[in-house]
A and B are shown apart, each in its own frame.
Chain A
Amino acid sequence: MLLTFKTMGALRWVLVGLSVIVAIFLLVPVIFIVALSFGSSQWLAFPPPGWTLRWYQELLADPRWLASMLTSAKIAALTTICAVTLGLLTSFALVRGNFRGRETLRAAFLTPMILPVVVIGVALYAFFLRIGLNGTLTGFVIAHTILALPFAIIPISNALEAFDKSIEDAAIVCGASPWEARLRVTLPGIRHGLFAGAIFSFLLSWDEVVVAIFMASPTLQTLPVRIWGSLRQDLSPVIAAASALLVLLTICLMIVAALVQKGRQK
């Protein structure tokens, strides 16, 4: 009745109406950013008097914006490698291990996800100032790996849990060494988990702003830190262009994720 679409009567149109309104509310800012980035008004008048690519030209001509994009990409790539590697090792321990305190350990690994990011940011800031890692690439990667680790561990250990261990054992029976079996049988078997972990880790680092504000120095800034700095000064349309590129990236990643999902179901 209330959970069967066909027999809900007039109620279903109320429900559809409300959902469409909320969906528009969710969609409008995203479309708005993209439209704004092509508008010719310096003062962000909307609808804009004309259309232009000027803000993209300014964005791509400014070495500071480009440098921050490059920094972001570097940090996100390194974070992904570290988080997925550590996440894979940890998942093996958490899923295959049978030791005392395994559940406590699992919970402990997820705490960086629960704590307010600002607390982690401030704590690492104090620590890195003392040991001289503030404003360095290493510091950034360590900080982001801490934050990304739960997001790598969850999908990888889920995939490992779902993977039938007897296939790995069969490979060993057939003469593979345990490591060979893990590398050539288990790893391909859990690749969707590794892929999801990699995407989550990359996006986390790429979009992360709170910890990054504390880690950054005038010479080492990620893209979000650069946007944050500009936002505190003015609402220049160049930010709209940068934001629109980020929206494009999100859409690309969603399409890739959907394709991978589809490939898995086949």
Chain B
Amino acid sequence: MTTATANPAADRSRMKGAALALPALLLLLGFFVAPVLSLLVQSVTEPSFGLQNYRELIATPTYATVFFNTFLVATLVTFFALVLGFPVAWALAVLPPRWAGVIFAVVLLSMWTNLLARTYAWMVLLQTTGVVNKSLMALGIIDTPLALINNLTGVTIGMVYIMLPFIILPMQATLRTIDPATLQAAALCGASRWQAFWRVLLPLALPGIASGGLIVFVMSLGYFVTPALLGGTSNMMLAELIAQLVQSLLRWGMGGAAAFVLLVITLALYAVQVRYLGAGRTAVGG
């Protein structure tokens, strides 16, 4: 008990309160905790007991490439999402409500539209005979169509598109909490715009930037759909590898080992987020 009460009846009713969480807890234990643990156990028991799956994961160059690709894509996506998202978040925080409302609605519309529908749009837009290539050729920028799909470029464009709302929303929330008077004070004290931006606005916005960036980085590491559809065979990412190991190759042990690695990285980054940036609102819309 966090607060000592003299009334045992009140104590009982509080414990009864805890019992209300029981159905959900049992569901979670039976159909979430147990299956995930059992998958991780399989990584050291299948095909035989030991760490051979992890050894294979480290020693095989193909898998090393997958890890490299995963981190490369997550880094690129986080970078571009931050660079493109920051001005939008900033604008959302300062624009008159009516204009901000329009941009906000666009961000939400894009975020709430079915993921496959959006990825499909990019598959069509980016293909060799797609609108992007045709426009670039019509403008005389290129002579032959660029390969924009089934490679790193396609995955990056598609993923930045998906992740932008997840970075804009936390950043604009942080920017809104900054008191404009702080910046006026900086100006009164003789700071130039440049100094006010680098030494006042950016440091104050940093928690939002860091937490948005971290959310996007973590989400990108484990992303499955967009890389699988817009990427090629040579830039497979970790999530797709796990699915393939399990579903097509039936190598449960290897799949479990790769899942364990992804899980550890995700939880470690999440712990950083909670420790230094506060649990806050994660990727949820709202």
A contact residues vs B (CB 8 Å cutoff): 1-5, 8, 11-12, 15-16, 18-19, 22-23, 25-30, 32-33, 36, 43-46, 86-87, 89-90, 92-94, 96-100, 102, 105, 107-127, 142-143, 145-146, 149-151, 154-155, 196, 200, 203, 207, 209-210, 213-214, 224, 227-228, 231-232, 235, 239-240, 242-244, 246-247, 250-251, 253-254
Contact = CB atoms under 8 A, between A and B. Distances in A.
8 contacts: A2-B196, A3-B175, A23-B106, A97-B18, A99-B17, A200-B284, A209-B116, A246-B117
B225 interface: yes
Contacts of B31: 124, 127, 142-143, 146
Contact of B106 (A26, A124, A209, A240): A26
B88 A22 contact: yes
B2 interface: yes
B20 to A, nearest CB: 4
Contacts of A224: 114, 116
A187 to B, nearest CB: 14
Given A18-B91, A113-B283, A246 B113 contact: yes
Given A114-B282, A123-B259, A235 B20 contact: no
A8 B91 contact: no
Given A1-B186, A11-B193, A29-B118, 7 more contacts: A113-B284, A115-B266, A116-B221, A119-B39, A123-B35, A125-B246, A247-B117
A21 B17 CA distance: 51
| Main DSSP-derived SS at the A contact region | helix
| Main DSSP-derived SS at the B contact region | helix
Interface in B97-135: 99, 102-103, 105-110, 112-125, 127, 129-131, 134
A114 B270 CA distance: 8
Interface in B68-115: 84-85, 87-88, 90-96, 99, 102-103, 105-110, 112-115
B264 to A, nearest CB: 11
B286 A243 contact: no
A120 B273 CA distance: 21
B18 A99 contact: yes
A114 B285 CA distance: 14
B200 to A, nearest CB: 8
A115 B17 CA distance: 28
Given A3-B180, A30-B109, A19 B35 contact: no
Contacts of A110: 282
Contacts, number: 287
Interface residues of B, number: 103
Given A125-B246, A146-B31, A207-B114, A115 B263 contact: yes
A26 B108 CA distance: 10
Contacts of A11: 193
A186 B185 CA distance: 46
A246 B242 contact: no
A121 B218 CA distance: 17
Interface of B: 1-3, 14-15, 17-21, 23-25, 27-28, 31-32, 34-36, 38-39, 42, 84-85, 87-88, 90-96, 99, 102-103, 105-110, 112-125, 127, 129-131, 134, 161, 164-165, 175, 178, 180, 183-184, 186-187, 193, 196-197, 200-201, 218, 221-225, 229, 239, 242-243, 246-247, 252, 255, 259, 262-263, 266-267, 270, 279, 282-286
A203 B111 CA distance: 12
B183 A243 contact: no
A101 B130 CA distance: 55
A8 B107 CA distance: 24
A119 B193 contact: no
A90 B23 CA distance: 8
Contact of B120 (A105, A125, A231): A231
A250 B109 contact: yes
Given A1-B193, A29-B161, A116 B120 contact: no
Contacts of B267: 114
Nearest to A225: B116
Nearest to B255: A122
B93 to A, nearest CB: 7
B94 A196 contact: no
Contacts of B88: 18-19, 22-23
A240 B34 CA distance: 39
Nearest to A92: B20
A240 B120 contact: yes
Contacts of B112: 203, 250, 253-254
